[in-house]
């Protein structure tokens, strides 16, 4: 193993990191927004909304992300329905679209589980005190639910970061694709892949540490 080559690979592969990180950021943004909507729908008293949210979750968590990616990139251009004459997306756009839907489905579960995990006694006490549901959801339940949600939310975000590696297959020039380009030129597979692994490890360890810090502070405050 040529460690010098590994070291030299870092700056080259890191050029792809901007895509890794921006993909993650945008997908988290849109995905979390979607997840909030879905979670509210799941918890609503309107059966139709609950069903839709449950169905959405079942669909987007039941199929592999790669299928979503390929659908967004290869299939949407062929979508000729009504006024739509095919949706042609750039690789980056297709990736964000697919990743956002995927994230929304998973984070919706995190949000819903977090709210449910709050001791039902809290709601009972609030109602006994005469508070409206809107009020105690906002001031009592959600703040406590947030503390429960944060660690798994961070865990999911870390998974999202790892999943951006799949966008290589729809030609997004993030870290994994750049690494493949490097070793298809000089066949130094071991060193290039090792460098790639180390860079991913660096990025994900940030999330791992953040998650542990959040968990600890949650435990102390209880």
Partner 1 sequence: MAPLVEITGLHKSFGKVEVLKGVDCEIERGEVVAVIGPSGSGKTTMLRCVNLLERPSAGRIEVDGRVLCEEQPDGKMKFAPKDAIREAREHVGMVFQRFNLFPHMTALHNITEAPMAVKGASKQDAESRAHELLESVGLGHKADAYPLQLSGGQQQRVAIARALAMDPTLMLFDEVTSSVDPELAGEILLVMKRLAEQGMTMLVVTHEMGFAAEVADRALFIDHGLVVEQGKAADLLGNPQHQRTRAFLRAVLDRAPMEESDEPVRSPEEIKSQTERELLLQQQKVERIAKEDGG
Partner 2 sequence: MREFDWSVIGRSGDLLMAGTRLTVGLFLAALVLATALGLILALMRLSPVRPLRWFAGTYIWIMRGIPVFVTLLFAFFVARDLPGFGWLTPIWAGVIGLGIDGAAYKAEIIRAGIMAVDHGQHEASEALGMTKAHYMRRIIIPQSIRVIVPTYMSNSILLLKATSVAVGIGLVELTGITRQLSNSTFRPIELFTAAAFIYLVLTTVLVLLQEFLERRFALKT
Q: Check residue 187 and give left, alpha or beta (phi > 0: left; psi -120 to 50: alpha).
A: left
Q: C-beta of 108: minimal distance to partner 1 in Å?
A: 8
Nearer to partner 2, 85 or 127 (CB): 85
Q: Enumerate binding residues for partner 1 (CB under 8 A).
A: 61, 106-107, 109-110, 113, 117, 151-152, 155-156, 159, 208, 211, 215
The neighbour count for residue 164, using CB atoms within 10 Å, is 25
With both helix axes pointing from N to C terminus, report the angle between 189-221 and 175-186 in degrees, rounded to the nearest 10. 160
Instruction: Work out the burial of residue 27: count CB atoms within 10 Å of its CB; fewer than 13 is exposed, 13-18 middle, 19 or more buried.
Output: buried
Nearer to partner 1, 102 or 136 (CB): 102
Nearer to partner 2, 93 or 180 (CB): 180
Q: C-beta of 201: minimal distance to partner 1 in Å?
A: 15
Nearer to partner 2, 122 or 159 (CB): 159
Residue 85: what are its φ and ψ, rounded to 5°? Answer: -110, 60
Q: Which of 8, 15, 63, 127 binds partner 2 (CB under 8 A)?
A: 63
**Which stretch, 2-10, 116-124, 168-176, 212-220, contacts partner 2 (CB under 8 A)?**
168-176
**Which stretch, 23-31, 75-83, 138-146, 210-218, contacts partner 2 (CB under 8 A)?**
75-83
d(CA 73, CA 53): 25
- Residue window 134-163: x/- pattern of binding to partner 2, with contact defined by CB under 8 A: ----------------------------xx
d(CA 57, CA 17): 29
Is 32 a residue that touches partner 2 (CB under 8 A)? Answer: no
CB 30 within 8 A of CB 130: no
Out of partner 2, partner 1, none, what residue 71 binds, judged by CB under 5 to 8 A for its kind, is partner 2
Burial 71-106 (b: 16+ CB within 10 A, else e): bbbeebeeeeeeeeeeeebebbbbbbbbbbbbbbbb
Q: C-beta of 131: minimal distance to partner 1 in Å?
A: 24
Q: C-beta of 25: minimal distance to partner 2 in Å?
A: 17
């Amino acid at each position: 193993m040529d460690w010098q080559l590994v070291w030299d690979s870092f700056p080259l592969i890191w050029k792809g990191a901007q895509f890794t990180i921006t993909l993650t950021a945008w997908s988290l943004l849109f995905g979390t927004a979607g997840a909030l909507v879905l979670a509210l729908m799941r918890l609503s008293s309107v059966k139709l909304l609950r069903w839709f949210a449950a169905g959405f979750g079942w669909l987007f968590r039941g199929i592999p992300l790669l299928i979503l990616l390929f659908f967004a990139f290869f299939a949407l251009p062929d979508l000729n329905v009504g006024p739509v004459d095919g949706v042609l997306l750039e690789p980056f756009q297709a990736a964000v679209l697919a990743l956002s839907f995927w994230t929304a489905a998973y984070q919706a579960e995190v949000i819903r589980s977090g709210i449910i995990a709050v001791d039902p006694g809290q709601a009972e006490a609030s109602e006994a005190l005469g508070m409206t549901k809107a009020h105690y959801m906002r001031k009592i339940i959600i703040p406590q639910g947030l503390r429960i949600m944060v660690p798994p939310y961070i865990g999911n975000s870390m998974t999202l970061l790892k999943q951006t590696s799949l966008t290589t297959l729809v030609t997004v020039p993030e870290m994994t694709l750049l690494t493949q380009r490097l070793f298809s030129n000089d066949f130094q597979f071991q060193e290039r892949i090792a460098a790639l692994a180390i860079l991913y490890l660096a990025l994900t360890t940030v999330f791992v540490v953040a998650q542990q810090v959040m968990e600890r502070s949650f435990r102390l405050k209880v």
